[in-house]
């Protein structure tokens, strides 16, 4: 066989492996594929980042301005709302920090996965090239979203430092060794976003309503997750067993809790001074990791098992 013939890739539908779970083993080769495509992924991530702010006056500065303004609004609105000025009490910043960290974490998940719906269809010219590894397409968007999330993390810590310098006590925040685990938490979130993104990108090729359906799902998912509410409130309203069932079957629950603890929010003081303990960090981290691995295996296997059909459909 000549060298040129050895480089030709062939595909036979009759002998090709069928079923999504027959494509689980190629997951082990995914890191190599990503490394081989690192320049492509970096260029795509840079292009997507710049495209978000192309034509705007502030440009990429919006990455800092937007979360900063969001936190200021949360602090003024919810801090003042939960502060009792009639009793001469200052604004309570704790709920503002709690709400901002939850919104920031869930928004990263919802935004990235929603954008991933159209990555295959939007890059049809690349997908039709046999040698192109289309499974890396969700990577650039995930990297950009997590980069924006890191800016939000910086805003949280800077706001906390400013409050401390101004003599404003933020009881919900404190220095902790768990801050060193933030990269691990982000890696788990990265895997979860990538897995869900691969699954949605595959579905969108065959069913174009997926983006709209997923928008509704993420909205409901957000209200079922501890973004706006505290776990103790749900336990009080629904009872211990129902609340634990809701927490156990919600992949975002442990993810948001582990993120908050890694940001230094070991406790949150809301609703008139009620202290809410988040529980063991390692427990939340382990459950979040299990969900992330499950989503990644599901998303990768379904994506790779159907990718041969994309060229005819995009």
Question: Is there a domain that residue 130 lies in?
Answer: yes
Q: Please, are residues 251 and 192 in contact by the beta-carbon 8 Å criterion? A: yes
Measured CA to CA in angstroms, residue 145 lies from 96, 124, 154 at distances of 22, 23, 15
The answer to whether the beta carbons of residues 44 and 138 sit under 8 Å apart is: no
Check the CA dihedral 311-204-289-179 and report its sign: positive
Q: Which of 68-72, 110-114, 155-159, 172-176 is most confident?
A: 110-114
pLDDT at 93: 75
Q: Is residue 158 part of a domain?
A: yes
Number of domains in the chain: 1
Task: Please indicate, yes or no, if residue 147 is contained in any of the structural domains.
Answer: yes
Q: Return all residues near 222 (Cβ < 8 A) that are at least 6 apart.
A: 106, 110
Structural domain boundaries enclosing 300:
62-313
Instruction: Assess whether pLDDT exceeds 70 at residue 147.
Output: yes
Residue 277 confidence class, pLDDT cut points 50, 70, 90: very low
Cβ pair 76, 204 in contact under 8 A: no
pLDDT of amino acid 272: 32
Neighbours of 262 (CB within 10 A): 23
d(CA 190, CA 293): 11
- State the SS3 of the chain: CCHHHHCCCCCCCCCCCCCHHHHCHHHHHHHHHHHHCHHHHHHHHHHHHHHHCCCCCCHHHHHHHHHHHHHHHHHHHHHHHHCCHHHCCCCCCHHHHHHHHHHHHHHHHHHHHHHHCCHHHHCHHHHCCCCCCHHHCHHHHHHHHHHHHHHHHHHHHHHHHHHHHCCCCCCCCCCCHHHHHHHHHHHHHHHHHHHHHHHHHHHHHHCCCHHHHHHHHHHHHHHCCCCCCCHHHHHHHHCHHHHHHHHHCCHHHHHHHHHHHHCCCCEEEECCCEEEECCCHHHHHHHHHHHHHHHHHHHHHHHHHHHHHHHHHC
Q: Is residue 201 part of a domain?
A: yes
A 10 A CB-CB count for 60 gives 13
Q: What's the rounded mean pLDDT across residues 257-280?
A: 58
Residue 268 lies in a domain: yes
Is residue 35 one of the residues assigned to a domain? no
How much is the CA Rg of the chain, to the nearest whole Å? 22
Residue 278 pLDDT exceeds 90 = no
pLDDT at 14: 47
Position 4 confidence tier, pLDDT thresholds 50, 70, 90: very low
Q: Is pLDDT of 250 > 90?
A: yes
Task: Encode pLDDT of 150-202 as tens digits.
Answer: 988 888 888 888 887 877 777 667 777 888 889 999 999 999 999 999 999 99
What is the pTM assigned to this prediction?
Answer: 0.83
Domain for residue 135, yes or no? yes
Better-scored residue on pLDDT, 23 or 4: 23
Does residue 15 fall inside a structural domain? no
């Amino acid at each position: 066989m000549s060298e040129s013939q050895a480089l030709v890739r062939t595909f036979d539908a009759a002998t090709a492996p069928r079923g999504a779970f027959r494509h689980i083993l190629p997951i082990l080769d995914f890191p190599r594929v990503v490394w081989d495509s690192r320049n492509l992924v970096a260029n795509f991530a840079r292009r997507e980042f710049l495209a978000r702010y192309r034509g705007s006056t502030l440009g990429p500065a919006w990455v800092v301005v937007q979360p900063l303004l969001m936190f200021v609004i949360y602090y003024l609105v919810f801090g003042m709302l939960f502060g009792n000025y009639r009793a001469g009490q200052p604004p309570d910043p704790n709920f503002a920090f709690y709400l901002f960290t939850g919104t920031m974490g869930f928004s990263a998940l919802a935004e990235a996965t929603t954008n991933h719906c159209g990555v295959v269809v939007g890059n049809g010219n690349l997908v039709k090239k046999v040698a192109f590894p289309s499974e890396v397409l969700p990577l650039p968007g995930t990297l950009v979203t997590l980069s924006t999330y890191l800016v939000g993390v910086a805003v949280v810590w800077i706001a906390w430092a400013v409050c401390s310098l101004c003599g404003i006590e933020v009881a919900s925040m404190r220095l902790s060794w768990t801050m060193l685990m933030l990269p691990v938490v982000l890696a788990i979130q990265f895997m979860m976003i990538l897995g869900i993104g691969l699954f949605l990108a595959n579905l969108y090729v065959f069913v174009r309503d997926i983006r709209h359906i997923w928008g509704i799902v993420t909205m409901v998912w957000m209200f079922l997750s501890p973004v706006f509410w505290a776990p103790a409130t749900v336990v009080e309203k629904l009872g211990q067993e129902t609340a634990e069932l809701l927490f156990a079957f919600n992949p975002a629950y442990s993810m948001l809790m582990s993120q908050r603890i890694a940001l230094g929010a070991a406790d949150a003081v809301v609703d008139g001074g009620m202290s809410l303990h988040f529980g063991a960090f390692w427990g939340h981290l382990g459950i979040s990791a299990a969900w992330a691995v499950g989503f990644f295996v599901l998303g990768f296997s379904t994506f790779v098992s159907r990718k041969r059909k994309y060229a005819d459909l995009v």
